[in-house]
Amino acid sequence: MERQEGHTSAEQLERIQSIADAALAHLELRELLDELLVRIRDALEADTAAFLLLDEETGELVARAASGLEESVRAGARVPLGRGFAGRVAAERRTITLEDLEQADVVNPILREKGLKSLLGVPLVVGARLVGIVHVGTLTPRRFTEADAELLQLAADRAALAIDHGRVYAEARAAAERLERLQAVTDAALGHLSTGALLDELVLRVRDILATDTCAVLLLDESRNEVVARAAAGLEEEVEAGVRIPVGRGFAGRIAAEQRIVEIEDVDHADVLNPILREKGIKSMLGAPLLAHGNVLGVIHVGSLTPRRFTGDEKELLLAAADRAALGLERALLHERLIELDRVRNRFVAVAAHELRTPTTSLLGSALTLHAREAELDPADRAALIDLLVGQSQRLATLLEQLLDLSRLELHAVQITRARRSVRDVVEQALA
């Protein structure tokens, strides 16, 4: 059935102007698309209208806004270029009409489920770049006219400019928000010297900036070549259980070994060693290495309880957050090592002072006795004091030589040679 003719050029221009006004009235892309659809559907006197925009990373059209076909948007309907009605409109960059949907190649089953009979679609093009497509549909059979196609294409041309403008604006805002979120991670990385406090704060902030359900950090244990769960948000059981993953195995182990970002879209069918991930119902994961000056410090990963395909921007955001976190982590670990070295030094000084005090006291006591009473001492007592002086002097000389050896070791002036020794012999020699 054909739509009733008789709309004047003035009416058509008025309708196009209505769409142009909508295009200029909004900057928020989602609001813009919804407003444009209502006006396009009304201008074409159709029952449904939908925008499918091009995902350049996957080469697919993605349902982004719909009027009368909202289910497509909620389902995240995707159509490969060249396939089905929408895919053909995009690939061929021309107007396509379907008078009988039942006999046509349609990828999206929702179109038939809604009872649509006829469709008219045109490409959204800015310059030589494909932005997406827009189509309108009717619940009764309809033969779209050439005037309908021209009207929809005019509307599409104006809508494409508005969508492109809206995307640029949205990307600019998203970039600003990413900088703010990364600043939050940087603040956390620089604001703590305690490794535990730093990691606890990082997992919360990274989970928030990527809007995920979980986040965890595993640090490298070089002695065992494993990454160990140290902090988590939404996966606290992993830390409590002290989960360890060998480098090179499983999800976290691969990230540490390959030193690159790794994504898992379906955890149930992936090589995941940690059973807690499946027990918690995590469906999709994204992880990145914590690298500082080329050294792997550990791994950070986020997870979603619903299936999710992480975007290129989200991957870049996690990598940037990981880089900032790694610098803060390196700083915190260095600070803790310095504190531990300071403790070791203080213990060493205390032990050395005690060890030096004993022979020094004996030497001083023997020397004072000889000086004050040498004439009164019998030969045996005098000989004993001299023996004590010699023995304690040798002990003191040994201790001083050991201190010098330690000094040379710090200056790398002494070469250490590994050799097998009997523990019993070493202990007996130390106690002798």
* Residues 382-398: tens digit of each pLDDT: 888 888 888 888 877 77
In this prediction, residue 290 carries a pLDDT of: 93
d(CA 122, CA 46): 15
CA 51/CA 41 separation, integer angstroms: 11
Greatest CA separation found in the chain? 141
Nearest to 153 by CA among 120, 119, 129, 104: 120
Architecture of domain 177-328: 2-Layer Sandwich (3.30)
Specify the pTM: 0.52
- Output the pLDDT for position 191: 61
Given a cut of 80, whether residue 179 has pLDDT beyond it is no
- Residue 162 pLDDT exceeds 90: no
223 has a pLDDT exceeding 80:
yes
* Architecture, CATH, for domain 337-431: Orthogonal Bundle (1.10)
Reduced to 3 states (helix: H, G, I; strand: E, B; else coil), residue 320 is: helix
Segment 87-122, tens digit of pLDDT: 999 999 999 998 888 877 777 778 888 888 899 999
pLDDT band at 2 (very low <50, low <70, confident <90, very high): very low
Band (84; pLDDT cuts 50, 70, 90):
confident
pLDDT at 5: 47
Q: What is the pLDDT of residue 161?
A: 82
Span between the terminal Cα atoms of the chain, in Å: 111
pLDDT at 297: 92
pLDDT at residue 171 is higher than 80: no
Q: Does residue 234 register a pLDDT over 50?
A: yes
Per-residue confidence (pLDDT) for residue 411, from 0 to 100: 66
Q: How many helices (H) and strands (E) does the chain have?
A: 13, 12
pLDDT band at 28 (very low <50, low <70, confident <90, very high): low
- Domain extents for the chain? 9-173, 177-328, 337-431
Among 120-134, 190-204, 225-239, the range scoring the smallest mean pLDDT is 190-204
CB 53 within 8 A of CB 134: no
Residue 108 buriedness (CB in 10 A; 0-12 / 13-18 / 19+): buried
- Name 263's Cβ contacts closer than 8 Å, sequence gap at least 6: 284, 285, 286, 287, 310, 315
9-173 and 177-328: same fold? yes
As a whole number of angstroms, the distance between CA 107 and CA 109 comes to 6
Distance CA 94, CA 102 (A): 22
CA dist., res. 410 & res. 349, Å (int): 15
Phi, psi for residue 142 in degrees, rounded to 5: -150, 140
* pLDDT bracket for residue 376 (50, 70, 90): confident
Mean pLDDT score of the chain: 81
b/e string for 302-324 if b means 16 or more Cβ within 10 A? Answer: bbbeeebebeeebeebbbbbbbb
The answer to whether the CB of 298 falls within 8 A of the CB of 220 is yes
Which range in 26-35, 59-68, 162-171, 410-419 is most confidently predicted, on average pLDDT?
59-68
Average pLDDT rounded to a whole number, residues 222-240 = 89
Q: Give pLDDT, residue 128.
A: 86
Question: Which of 158-167, 231-240, 341-350, 361-370 has the highest average model confidence (pLDDT)?
Answer: 231-240
Q: Which CATH architecture describes the domain 9-173?
A: 2-Layer Sandwich (3.30)
The token duo for 49 is 């209208």
- The pLDDT-based confidence of 17 (bands split at 50, 70, 90) is low
Residue predicted with more confidence, 138 or 196: 138
- Using 50, 70 and 90 to split pLDDT, how confident is the model at 175? low
